[in-house]
Copies of this chain bind each other. A is one copy, B any other.
């Protein structure tokens, strides 16, 4: 295999066509992961034979991008060629567009075969190249037709019927389900390009691709017709009869473009990750939109802002401890009298008054949620004079509150046992606490999003068939909104990665209607953990400084690491707050923070 000769032939074509670079992805017109030899153009031009990789050739240089599965194999196979290996997802690796931008002059044109990349890939590439000094992309040239002698033909292997005893669902049933799904997506028809989707839909199998029992074809479905675009030589009389019986027409593979143009029904569905760019462009036009860059900038706190948070959290912790001490003494003194005089509203007011005594206090960061017993199950409950209920020396008070200080914003939830609890209350409290602690403990690579971390807060609950439908955490502004995005920890996808310097809450909960609610929330700071050959890892530090009620905990349910975290956190809370407290307050806090 003489890669140098092939590069030289390619560059001759490029010069003639005025192309500064040419891009060879690894797929075929069907976005297959593994492709027939006919489409192994990237291997032909580079020598690298992995299933994923993109070769780019300029007039004077060449590079090959692949992922971690192939780093070592590619290194070996590219030895002795001009190709530079580009390791995907490794810090410092340029994107294809960035590299072309460096290697070529502004305003040049580069090429890619529009048949062998998905519509989305080419659209992204066009946008990325435009940012590199306005480089443009030509998509209607396949140089392999000119420089690949004895290029293998598109395979013509016979197609086999896949027996219903294995397939389990008849072709007409599948097509009828597809048409139903299309109607739900407000489409009349679709063009199917994925080879395994076509094999599945028609209960057929082939052998055009090594190890993958598929056959090269397209399938066009409309309200009335189903047409298989395939080289007829692959179809035995038996298969032809079978297709006819299933109402599937047959047309030559090369005529798919014409089939698409002749489609006159309303709205055809084209999956832009599946349909190649050339087919896609024959029907679609486009625009560009982006997320505001300010959203992410604002969430990464600078040194002053982090110092402000620490200082605001210290004062907020002092106010919380004064309040918790007051409440616990009230509770103890009135065990017989039933906490007479206290209600959801009055404890909210008391907490607010403790906070308002702190320096730099500017107000609440949201209306205090003080929910006693069944009211605690109303996730965003706000007590009003009409709904307010008295507290009794039993069960849970859920208290979610926060303040605006000039130097930072706070958000904290504690669930407080006012007296005896049921076993269910203790179990739920402990499972929520486990989830809370697993988030506090977790380590993750830079670039991870909160969606990836979310399950750590829920898995202990999910095993009991419990769940909460709100997010696990949100960003907190620096003397700004208590809810700040775009990063979050939640079940739904939030692509914004967690970055050192971000704040995020950790607040799993469980709400049992008519019974009680539990939520335990600290506000965390994302900080560096360690750097290894696998990159930078991050961790969390609790900014919130306030004891977590230990009395409801079923210690046996905690893992050793969870118990260790709780004791260490309490030690830190005590060490940090006690110098700022009276000796009575300090002694109360010592007991609240004593190790379990």
Contact of B305 with A50 in the complex, beta carbons under 8 Å? no
A422 at the interface (CB under 8 A from B): no
A167 at the interface (CB under 8 A from B): yes
A347 at the interface (CB under 8 A from B): no
Contact of A465 with B196 in the complex, beta carbons under 8 Å? no
A251 at the interface (CB under 8 A from B): no
A290/B269 contact (C-beta < 8 A), A33-B481, A465-B530, A468-B68 known: yes
A470 at the interface (CB under 8 A from B): yes
A362 and B483 CA atoms in complex are apart in Å by 56
Contact of B442 with A380 in the complex, beta carbons under 8 Å? no
- A403 → chain B closest CB, angstroms: 9
Partner of A70, one of B192, B305, B379, B449: B379
Question: Please, which residue of chain B has its CB at the minimum distance from the CB of A127?
Answer: B186
Partner of A451, one of B452, B456, B481, B559: B452
A466/B290 contact (C-beta < 8 A), A186-B127, A480-B199 known: no
Contact of B67 with A470 in the complex, beta carbons under 8 Å? yes
Contact of A462 with B537 in the complex, beta carbons under 8 Å? yes
Question: Please, which residue of chain B has its CB at the minimum distance from the CB of A408?
Answer: B166
A570 at the interface (CB under 8 A from B): no
A482 at the interface (CB under 8 A from B): yes
A214/B480 contact (C-beta < 8 A), A167-B304, A534-B466 known: yes
Chain A residues 174 to 230 lying within 8 A of chain B, measured CB to CB, are 174, 177-178, 181-182, 184-187, 190, 192, 194, 196-197, 199-201, 205, 210-214
A298 and B366 CA atoms in complex are apart in Å by 47
A363 at the interface (CB under 8 A from B): yes
B-contact bits for A492-522, CB 8 A (1 contact / 0 none) = 0101000000000000000101000000000
A293 at the interface (CB under 8 A from B): yes
A462/B443 contact (C-beta < 8 A), A200-B298, A481-B212 known: yes
- A31 → chain B closest CB, angstroms: 10
A531 and B185 CA atoms in complex are apart in Å by 29
- A186 → chain B closest CB, angstroms: 5
Question: Using Cβ atoms and an 8 Å threshold, which residues of chain B touch A15?
Answer: none
Partner of A534, one of B50, B213, B290, B467: B467
Contact of A287 with B290 in the complex, beta carbons under 8 Å? no
A210 and B267 CA atoms in complex are apart in Å by 46
Question: Using Cβ atoms and an 8 Å threshold, which residues of chain B touch A294?
Answer: 178, 190, 192, 194, 197, 200-201
Question: Using Cβ atoms and an 8 Å threshold, which residues of chain B touch A363?
Answer: 211
Question: Using Cβ atoms and an 8 Å threshold, which residues of chain B touch A288?
Answer: 186, 267
A192 and B469 CA atoms in complex are apart in Å by 31
Question: Using Cβ atoms and an 8 Å threshold, which residues of chain B touch A451?
Answer: 451-452, 493
Contact of B467 with A443 in the complex, beta carbons under 8 Å? no
A535 at the interface (CB under 8 A from B): yes
A362/B479 contact (C-beta < 8 A), A127-B186, A455-B442 known: no
Contact of A50 with B380 in the complex, beta carbons under 8 Å? yes
Question: Using Cβ atoms and an 8 Å threshold, which residues of chain B touch A532?
Answer: 465-466
Chain A residues 279 to 330 lying within 8 A of chain B, measured CB to CB, are 284-295, 297-298, 301-305, 308
Contact of A290 with B89 in the complex, beta carbons under 8 Å? no
A272 and B284 CA atoms in complex are apart in Å by 21
Question: Using Cβ atoms and an 8 Å threshold, which residues of chain B touch A214?
Answer: 480-481
A297 and B449 CA atoms in complex are apart in Å by 28
A416 at the interface (CB under 8 A from B): no
Contact of A273 with B297 in the complex, beta carbons under 8 Å? no
A28 at the interface (CB under 8 A from B): no
- A458 → chain B closest CB, angstroms: 8
- A595 → chain B closest CB, angstroms: 22
A404 at the interface (CB under 8 A from B): yes
Question: Using Cβ atoms and an 8 Å threshold, which residues of chain B touch A201?
Answer: 294, 298
A491 at the interface (CB under 8 A from B): yes
- A555 → chain B closest CB, angstroms: 16
A365 at the interface (CB under 8 A from B): yes
Contact of B289 with A287 in the complex, beta carbons under 8 Å? no
| Most chain B CB within a 10 A radius of its CB, from A303, A455, A459, A513 | A455
Question: Using Cβ atoms and an 8 Å threshold, which residues of chain B touch A530?
Answer: 465
Question: Please, which residue of chain B has its CB at the minimum distance from the CB of A302?
Answer: B168
| Most chain B CB within a 10 A radius of its CB, from A167, A274, A293, A367 | A293
Contact of B287 with A491 in the complex, beta carbons under 8 Å? no
A150 at the interface (CB under 8 A from B): no
- A12 → chain B closest CB, angstroms: 31
- A455 → chain B closest CB, angstroms: 5
Question: Using Cβ atoms and an 8 Å threshold, which residues of chain B touch A127?
Answer: 186
Partner of A479, one of B205, B304, B480, B481: B205
List the interface of chain A (C-beta within 8 A of B).
33-34, 50-51, 67-73, 76, 89, 127, 130-131, 162, 164-169, 174, 177-178, 181-182, 184-187, 190, 192, 194, 196-197, 199-201, 205, 210-214, 267, 269-274, 284-295, 297-298, 301-305, 308, 362-367, 377-382, 387, 404, 406-407, 442-445, 448-449, 451-456, 459, 462-463, 465-470, 477-484, 491, 493, 495, 511, 513, 529-532, 534-535, 537, 559
Name the 9 nearest CB pairs between A and B, nearest first: A168-B304, A69-B379, A465-B532, A181-B293, A68-B469, A72-B378, A271-B292, A168-B302, A467-B534
Q: Can you list 5 pairs linking A and B with CB atoms under 8 Å apart?
A: A168-B304, A185-B293, A211-B364, A284-B287, A443-B465
